[in-house]
Amino acid sequence: MAESTVKENRTLEELFQELDGMMRQMEEPGLSLEQSFSLYHRGIELLKSCNDKIDTVEKQIQILEENGECHEF
């Protein structure tokens, strides 16, 4: 099964791929309640990591104004 903590050096694409794989696993018949809960818990951790990464990127985006000045938001 997946690690219990999210590695910070993973890309969003890697995190999304893991989430996609987990969703497919959760759709499989015969998955126990415990396995479903474990996958759900891991998915929540991954989503939090994704949100943190997206927030970081948004803070780094710069808008170039017509006069060439850069402003972070």
Residue 7 lies in a domain: no
Which positions ≥6 away from 11 have C-beta within 8 Å? none
| Half-sphere exposure (Cβ direction) of 9: Cα atoms closer than 13 Å | 0
| pLDDT value of position 2 | 44
Average pLDDT over residues 14-19: 95
Is pLDDT larger for residue 5 or for residue 36? 36
The pLDDT-based confidence of 67 (bands split at 50, 70, 90) is low
Domain containing 55: what range? 12-72
CA neighbor of 40 nearest in space, from 25, 28, 55, 53: 25
**Residue type for position 11:** T
Q: What's the pLDDT tens digit per position in 18-48?
A: 999 999 999 999 999 999 999 999 999 999 9
Is pLDDT larger for residue 30 or for residue 66? 30
Work out how many domains the chain is built from and give that number: 1
What is the C-alpha to C-alpha distance for residues 28 and 50, in angstroms, rounded to an integer?
25
Residue 4 lies in a domain: no
